[in-house]
Amino acid sequence: MARVPSAVVAATGLVGGYGVARWTKKRQLGGAVLAVAGAAAAQQWRQQAGGKAAGALTAAYVAAFAGSHPLAKKVGAWPAVFGVAGAVALASWVVADRRHS
């Protein structure tokens, strides 16, 4: 069975975390989705690109989550979430997934 690229896992965590929190009105549940996907992506990053790259991508993932909040005030919630998810997915692909496709 083919492995899901870490870029997809990370983007799904950001979009899915927000979607779950919004639709269930339970922020903790959305946070759990965000955390589980982030941990899964971090594990893949570590395996594919090493510890330093995994640390940098994990920091980018957390920064994307945090940065989506002020960005949402300017462009709207969904565009902000999709924008940061796309940025993290691109970084993930460049640093880790591109080598293993």
Q: Which two tokens stand for residue 87?
A: 């940025």
pLDDT in tens, 2-33: 589 999 999 999 999 999 999 999 999 999 99
Tell me the mean pLDDT in the region 75-100.
95
CB 48 within 8 A of CB 75: no
Q: Calculate the average pLDDT of the chain.
A: 95
Structure tokens at 14: 């950001």
Residue 75 corresponds to which tokens in the numbers above? 């462009």
Tokens coding 62? 């957390």
Q: What is the pLDDT of residue 99?
A: 80
Express each pLDDT in 44-63 by its tens digit. Answer: 999 999 999 999 999 999 99
